[in-house]
Structure formats: C-alpha cells, structure tokens
Structure 1
C-alpha cells in the first residue's frame, strides 16, 4: 500500500515538474518578447523563479524515491555486496532523517497550531509568535510568500514517505539476501 502510494506520488511529482519546466520556458520566452517590444512584464521573472524552485523540489523528491541522486560510487562499487546493501540502508535512513527534520522545522515555521489558536487572525499570530511569514508578500506578484514556501513542507512529507518505502524495501532486500546465504 505504502509502496503504491509512494510510486503514485512520485509519478505526480514528475508530471508536475515537467509541467513547471514548460511553464518556466514559456515565462522566459514571454519575458524576452515583452522586453524586446519595450513593454517588460517584470512579474514573469519572479514567477519563473518560483516555478523553478517548486520544480526543483518536486524533481528532487522523485529522484530520491528512485535512488537516482547524483553520487560518486567508486568506493561503494568496491565494497562487498553485504556492505554495499548496508551503506544503501544508511543512506535511506539519512534521507528519512533529513526529511523528518525538515518536516519538524516546517511545522515550527508555519506553526499551524498557534495560527489555529488565534482564530487565523494574522495580527494576533504575529503578536504572539513574532513570526511574520503570513504577512510577507512577494515583490512583483503581491502574493503571500507562505504560498511560495509551501513547497518545503510538501517536499518534506513526500520525501519522508519515499524514504520510508525505500528503507522498508532495503530491509526486505537485506533479509532476503541473508535467507539466501543461510
């Protein structure tokens, strides 16, 4: 069940990242055209940057789910199979640790419990926490920045799921290898 959910989310992340790549290309072309015509649309720069940030996080999550991150494997390839599997488990555990740590940081940053307790009153929330994230707006788009930063908690949750599935698969693989040796 978790594995199917993780795979489905990874497929969605890949599709969203591809769509965002197309949007980024179109925004850059629009920016070039409008600047050449002397009527620059300044918001296209900021929107392209935000789209690129979201694309990066979606792509990173999908890539780490498939264990295809950039790596130098010279040392790993020289290890015996058992140690190699152990190292892969360690990497999966570190990815899970990072994802959970990021999720905790995002929870503390967004602080939804205090936001709820203040009745979603941004002024009261800011007065109680000195956290001004919900009132900051982007320069040219004028949208609240917390919408842009929402890619971080989404990334941390999806990466946590992918890392748990990878860790379970790795442990199953290690157990299967031990049974074959016995």
Structure 2
C-alpha cells in the first residue's frame, strides 16, 4: 500500500519537475528575446531560478523512490548479497532519519502552531516569535517567499514517504522511472 502511494507521488513529482523544466526553457528564451529587443522583463530571471529550485527538489525526492540517487557503491559491490541488502536498508534508514529531521526543521521554521495561536496575524506572530518567514517578499515578483520555500515541505514529506516505502519494501530492487 505505502509503495503504491510512494509510486503515485513520485509520478506526480516527476510530472511537475518535467513541467518546470519546460517552463524554465520558455522563461529563458523569453528573457533572451525581450533583452534583445531592449524590453527586458526582470521578473523572468527570478521566476526561472525559483522554478529551477522547485524542479531540483521535486526530482531529488522522486529519485529516492526510483533508486536513482547518486551513490558510491565501490564498497557495497564487494559485499556478500545478504550484507549488501542490510547496507541498503541501513541507507534507507539514514535517509528516513534525514527526511524526518527536515520535516521537523520545516515545522520549526514555519511554526504553524504559533501562527494559529496568533490568529494568523503575521505581525503578532513576528512579535511573539521573532520569526519573519511570512514577511519577506521576492525581489521582483512580490510573492511572499514562504510560498517559494514551501518546496522544502514538499521535498521533506516526499522524501519521508519514499524512504519509508523503500525501508519497508521486501526487495532492494527499485522501480524504473516512467518514460
């Protein structure tokens, strides 16, 4: 069950990452055209950077599901099959601990309970917590940065799901990414 949820979420992540990759290309081409005609759109650079960050985090999370993360296997390749499987499960456990730590850090960073306690009043929240996460806008887009930074939530929750699914799966074989 958890494996199917992980697979479905990984497909969503890859689809969004692919859409963002196309968007980045379009944004860069738009930037080239507008600059060449002397009518630069400065917000395009910023949007392309944020799209690239989102694409990278979504792709990294999906890579955990599909087993396509970068790995140095020179040591594990020499191990007996049973020890190799134990090492793979140990890696999955370490990734799960990292992902859970990321969820905790996001929780601390965004402090949703403190925001609720302050009646969703950002200024009261800032005064009570000295946390300005909800106050900073992007430079040219004017979008609150917490929307951009929310990719950390998406990544950490996706990485938690995928690493947990990998940890409890019976085999060490990973699924192939959809084509």
TM-score range, shorter chain: over 0.9
C-alpha displacement at 1:123, in angstroms?
Answer: 0.4
Q: How does 1:129-148 map to 2 (within 5 A)?
A: 129-148=129-148
Q: How many aligned residue pairs are there?
A: 172
Deviation for aligned residue 1:173: 3.7
Structure 2: stretches of 5+ with no match in the other structure: 173-179
Q: Aligned-pair distance for 1:68?
A: 1.2
**Alpha-carbon RMSD:** 0.9
Which string of whole-angstrom CA distances, capped at 9 and with x for unpartnered residues, describes residues 45-85 of structure 1? 00000000000000000001111111221211111101100
Structure 1 CA distance for aligned equivalents of residues 108 and 72 of structure 2 = 34
Q: What is the CA distance between 1:154 and its match in structure 2?
A: 1.1
Query: Is 2:75 the counterpart of 1:79?
Result: no
- Taking the aligned partners of 2:72 and 2:128, their CA distance within structure 1 comes to 47
**Greater mean deviation of Cα atoms: 71-80 or 42-51:** 71-80
Task: Choose 1 or 2 for highest CA Rg.
Answer: 1
1:117 is matched with 117
Give me the TM-score of the superposition, normalised by structure 2: 0.94
The runs of at least 4 consecutive aligned structure 1 residues that moved more than 6 Å come to: none
What's the TM-score, normalizing by structure 1? 0.92
Higher RCO, Cα 8 Å, sep 6+:
2
Separation in 2, partners of 1:47, 1:32 = 14
The residue aligned with 1:93 is 93
Can you list the C-alpha shifts for 1:132-165, whole angstroms capped at 9, x where unaligned? 1101000000000000000001111111011110
CA–CA distance in structure 2, aligned partners of residues 64 and 128 of structure 1: 38
Q: Secondary structure at the match of 1:74?
A: coil
Q: Which residue matches 1:38?
A: 38
